[in-house]
């Protein structure tokens, strides 16, 4: 017998599938990033979680899935910002207007810097818990 899923059950199943697809460790954070658009437009967005593979803006009004984005963020303790390009991988997050971004490229050593930050903060969270 085929069972119909409620909207909430279906969303939870999709979220579980997305978690198993992630190949990079992810940390909870409260960083701010700049979404750079066009010549003079810049939007500040709050980063709820971060990994070497992407991030999630938890209170951003989402743009279309698949849309390209250019981001700049400054990691705590660093002077120089990280610039990354990505695409909108998912929009919404249940009750929030957020959006997930999958990184596609970084300027310079940006990927390594993000990865090191995630590993350092993640290790500290594990050792404190």
Instruction: Specify the range with the lowest mean pLDDT, choosing from 38-52, 83-97, 115-129.
Output: 115-129
pLDDT interval class at 40 (50, 70, 90): confident
Domain architecture of the chain: domains with CATH: 29-128 (2.40.10.220)
15-38: pLDDT as tens digits: 554 444 545 677 989 899 999 976
Distances (CA, A) of 58 to 45, 91, 96, 113: 8, 10, 7, 22
Distances (CA, A) of 54 to 2, 12, 100: 36, 20, 7
Say which residue, 19 or 63, is predicted with more confidence.
Answer: 63
78-117: pLDDT as tens digits: 999 999 999 999 887 666 678 999 999 999 999 999 999 9
Q: What is the pLDDT of residue 60?
A: 72
> How many Å apart are CA 62 and CA 101, to the nearest integer?
11
């Amino acid at each position: 017998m085929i069972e119909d899923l409620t909207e909430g059950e279906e969303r939870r199943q999709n979220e579980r599938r997305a978690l198993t697809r992630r190949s990079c460790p992810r940390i909870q954070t409260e960083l701010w990033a700049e979404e750079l658009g066009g010549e003079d437009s810049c939007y500040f967005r709050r980063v709820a979680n971060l990994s070497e593979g992407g991030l999630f803006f938890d209170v951003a009004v989402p743009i279309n899935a698949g849309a390209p984005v250019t981001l700049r963020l400054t990691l705590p303790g660093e002077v120089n910002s990280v610039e990354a390009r990505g695409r909108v991988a998912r929009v919404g997050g249940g009750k929030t207007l957020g959006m997930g971004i999958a990184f596609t490229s970084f300027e310079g050593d940006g990927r390594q810097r993000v990865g090191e930050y995630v590993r350092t903060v993640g290790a500290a969270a594990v050792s404190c818990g």
